[in-house]
Every structure is written in structure tokens, then in C-alpha cells.
């Protein structure tokens, strides 16, 4: 199962609210500067692949701001820790955005990493620290009597919406939603629409071309892509894909070699159709750029209703660095 990156308070509430069916949700509050957070991250990813009946999520924090203070009464310390000595150091945790800060504050997060476990909208457990063994014990305890690790649950991850491709699933939850972008997009019909399950769509602006940039919040393998379009005449035709590129300009598109070029046909937009990629070239992907060159019937603008990447998160297997730190 993919790990959902929480970007807004609405996303958090929606995630917790989906537990009306007794599904366990585990949220990892972490910081990029935190050594234990980085150490436990591969294990957390492994749990997400192992316990497919459980929803795993992360709420990121930015770089810690270490404030150099000469006098203890310079500011109100609040919950910050202090050290005896000539100088006082106070670490303030600045979250990646104000909304995530509200989420972590509302949940009472005071240390990194903190793992919180929710069921039916209620917090059932909490663990501070990077103890791999204790995290899994709490997952086993609260996942439910009828659930089993690695089972064929129909909820979420690679076992849901696999579009007939065993072992893979919809990777939308692996996309960093607040960092997606598109060049030559209309303001109303913008890139965010293609990652929604509704009738909205992305449409190019001054001509038929647009460039889509898609970052992922964890490394993934991409097997295929599902394209949806409302109007086949305006649907993409030639699509150049660039693996592990974060950005690409129109001037660069002619000089930089693409990883793969797709020549789409009307049948590729049918309900049960998916377009396979050269899987060997998309094994460790952190970002993609898609350059839509033209459309099916040379219309003035190009439209794309939905874009779904089908694949799986990369499972971490090296646990040696974690087990020796379980007691720290």
C-alpha cells in the first residue's frame, strides 16, 4: 500500500474520517533533519507494503530552526527543551506549511518521530521514538481480529484499482500534490483536475501543447498509465515521458532525450484501457515529466480529464540499522 503524504488539514480529517469501517490509520509525524526519522522511514514503508489492510500516512516537518540564545529569559520556552551551560539552545519545529502545523499541534505532537494510530475517528495509541518493533506491535494490536498482514484486502494500495495488473495499484497517494505543475495550462482547467475523480479536466492554453511535472513523495515503480478524456478529439496523442526529471521547459524538450514516447490512439482512452510503459526504465522513480506534443484530431487545445499512474512503492528490505536501535 502507498503512504499518503498529508498536505492539508482537510486531507487529515478526511483520512481519519474514513475509518468508519474500523480501518486502522497510522500517521508518522516526522522531520527531515531528524536522524531517527530517517532511520525508521524504510521500515515504515515496509509496513505499508506488508499490512495492506492498514492506511499509512506521513506529516512532514521542515528543517529545524536552532535559535542561539544567550539568556534563558530571552523568550518564553514553552515546550522546548534546554541544556545547562553557558548558552541555551532551543529547537523550534517549523512545519512544512501552516496547515500541517495545525494538524500536528491538534494531535499533541511534541517530539519527532511520533506515530499515532486512529480507528473510527479516534486515537487509539501513540508512540514517540523510532522503535521499529513497537510500531509493528501496535499495528498488529489495532488492525483488527479479521485482518492479516499481506492479505488480499480490497481496501487501498496495490490491491485496489490495479486495473488488471496484479501486484500494482493506483499511485495517486504517492504524488506530492502541492508540487505538481503544468506549463501552458488554463487557470480554470488546471493540472490539479487530472488527479481528481470527477468531470473536471486539464486544458492547454495558447496551443495544443502542455508539460506536466509530477513529483512523488517516495520512490515508486511505474508499470503503466491510465489516461481519461472527455473529448477524444482533444485527447493527447503524442506524449513524451522523462523519468526522474523535476522540471522541463518547452525549449528543452527538443534537446533532451525522453525516456519513452507514447503514441496514443482513441482505444487507449476506453474505460478498461491502460498504456504499458517500458517497465525496466521506470523502476526507481521520484519524479516524472510528461510533454504532450499534440492531440488526436489537431484541435486548437488539448484536454486531459484524468491521469493515473499504476505501479507500486519501492519496498525497503535492509532492516539491520533499525533492529539495533529498537531500544534507543
pLDDT tens readout for residues 288-305: 999 999 999 999 999 999
Q: For the residues 144-149, what does the mean pLDDT come to?
A: 50
Give catalytic status of residue 34 as yes or no: yes
Q: Which residues contact 78 (CB under 8 A, 6 or more apart)?
A: none
In sequence order, what DSSP letters do the residues of 282-295 get, joined into one string?
A: SSSEEEEEEEE--B
Report the percent of the chain where pLDDT is more than 70: 73
Residue 204 has pLDDT above 60, yes or no: yes
**Calpha distance 76→23 (Å, rounded):** 41
> What phi, psi does 30 have (nearest 5°)?
-135, 170
> What phi, psi does 87 have (nearest 5°)?
-120, 160
**Chain centroid offset of residue 147 CA:** 24
Cα 143 to Cα 48, 70, 150, 312, distances in angstroms:
12, 48, 12, 22
**Which of the following is catalytic: 37, 61, 107, 174?**
37
Higher pLDDT, 298 or 154: 298
Kindly report the average pLDDT of the chain as a whole number.
77
Query: Does residue 113 have a cis peptide bond before it, meaning omega lies within 30 degrees of 0?
Result: yes
Higher pLDDT, 109 or 328: 109
pLDDT tens readout for residues 209-229: 999 999 998 889 999 999 999
Question: Quick one: fold of 3-150?
Answer: Glutaredoxin (3.40.30)
CATH number assigned to the domain covering 169-313: 2.60.120.470
pLDDT tens readout for residues 179-202: 999 999 999 999 999 998 889 999
**Calpha distance 131→139 (Å, rounded):** 13
pLDDT recorded at residue 214: 95
Are the beta carbons of 197 and 279 closer than 8 angstroms?
no
**Calpha distance 63→259 (Å, rounded):** 33
Q: In which band, very low, low, confident or very high, does the pLDDT at 154 lie, cut at 50, 70 and 90?
A: very low
Q: In which band, very low, low, confident or very high, does the pLDDT at 99 lie, cut at 50, 70 and 90?
A: very low
User: Domain map of the chain by residue range?
Assistant: 3-150, 169-313
pLDDT recorded at residue 233: 97
Higher pLDDT, 99 or 247: 247
**Calpha distance 36→55 (Å, rounded):** 22
pLDDT tens readout for residues 101-121: 555 555 667 778 889 898 877
**Calpha distance 93→111 (Å, rounded):** 9
Q: In which band, very low, low, confident or very high, does the pLDDT at 260 lie, cut at 50, 70 and 90?
A: very high
Higher pLDDT, 304 or 72: 304
Centre a 10 Å sphere on the Cβ of residue 128 and count the other Cβ atoms it contains. 14
pLDDT recorded at residue 80: 38
Q: In which band, very low, low, confident or very high, does the pLDDT at 244 lie, cut at 50, 70 and 90?
A: very high
Closest to 196 in 3D by CA, of 231, 172, 214:
172
130 exposure class (CB count in 10 Å sphere: 0-12, 13-18, 19+): buried
pLDDT tens readout for residues 2-60: 788 887 777 777 787 654 457 889 999 888 888 899 899 989 988 988 888 899 998 87
**Calpha distance 96→158 (Å, rounded):** 28
104 exposure class (CB count in 10 Å sphere: 0-12, 13-18, 19+): buried
Are the beta carbons of 14 and 57 closer than 8 angstroms?
no
Q: For the residues 63-84, what does the mean pLDDT come to?
A: 34
End-to-end CA distance of the chain: 28
Residue 138 has pLDDT above 80, yes or no: yes
Are the beta carbons of 163 and 274 closer than 8 angstroms?
yes
Residue corresponding to grid cell 475523480: 197
In sequence order, what DSSP letters do the residues of 125-192 get, joined into one string?
A: EEEES--HHHHHHHHHHHS-TT--TT---SSSGGGSS-TT-TT-EE-GGGB-GGG-EEESB-SSS-GG
Cα 124 to Cα 6, 116, 220, distances in angstroms:
19, 8, 30
**Calpha distance 214→171 (Å, rounded):** 11
**Which of the following is catalytic: 34, 61, 90, 174?**
34
Amino acid at each position: 500500500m502507498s503512504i499518503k503524504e498529508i498536505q492539508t488539514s482537510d486531507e487529515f480529517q478526511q483520512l481519519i474520517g474514513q475509518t468508519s469501517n474500523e480501518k486502522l490509520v497510522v500517521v508518522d509525524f516526522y522531520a527531515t533533519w531528524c536522524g531517527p526519522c530517517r532511520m525508521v522511514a524504510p521500515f515504515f514503508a515496509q509496513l505499508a507494503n506488508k499490512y495492506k489492510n492498514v492506511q499509512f500516512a506521513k506529516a512532514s516537518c521542515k528543517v529545524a530552526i536552532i535559535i542561539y540564545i544567550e539568556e534563558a529569559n530571552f523568550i518564553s520556552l514553552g515546550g522546548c527543551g534546554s541544556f545547562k551551560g553557558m548558552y541555551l539552545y532551543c529547537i523550534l519545529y517549523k512545519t512544512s506549511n501552516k496547515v500541517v502545523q495545525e494538524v500536528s499541534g491538534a494531535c499533541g505532537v511534541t517530539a519527532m518521530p511520533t506515530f499515532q494510530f486512529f480507528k473510527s475517528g479516534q486515537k487509539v495509541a501513540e508512540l514517540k521514538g523510532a522503535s521499529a518493533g513497537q510500531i509493528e506491535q501496535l499495528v498488529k494490536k489495532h488492525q483488527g481480529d479479521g485482518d492479516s498482514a499481506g492479505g488480499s484486502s480490497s481496501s487501498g494500495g496495490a490491491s485496489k484499482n490495479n486495473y488488471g495488473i496484479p501486484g500494482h495499484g493506483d499511485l495517486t497517494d504517492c504524488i506530492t500534490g502541492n508540487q505538481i505543475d503544468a506549463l501552458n495550462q488554463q487557470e480554470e482547467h488546471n493540472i490539479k483536475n487530472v488527479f481528481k475523480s470527477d468531470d473536471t479536466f486539464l486544458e492547454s492554453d495558447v496551443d495544443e501543447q502542455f508539460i506536466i511535472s509530477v513529483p512523488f513523495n517516495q520512490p515508486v515503480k511505474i508499470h503503466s498509465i491510465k489516461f481519461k478524456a472527455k473529448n477524444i478529439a482533444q485527447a493527447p496523442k503524442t506524449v513524451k515521458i522523462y523519468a526522474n526529471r523535476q522540471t522541463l521547459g518547452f525549449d528543452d524538450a527538443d534537446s533532451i532525450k525522453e525516456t519513452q514516447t507514447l503514441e496514443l490512439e482513441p482505444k487507449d482512452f476506453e474505460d478498461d484501457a491502460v498504456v504499458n510503459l517500458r517497465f525496466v526504465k521506470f523502476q526507481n522513480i521520484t519524479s516524472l515529466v510528461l510533454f504532450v506534443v499534440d492531440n488526436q484530431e489537431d484541435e486548437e487545445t488539448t484536454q486531459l480529464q484524468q491521469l493515473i499512474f499504476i505501479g507500486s512503492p519501492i519496498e525497503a528490505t535492509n532492516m539491520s540499522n533499525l533492529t539495533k536501535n529498537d531500544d534507543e
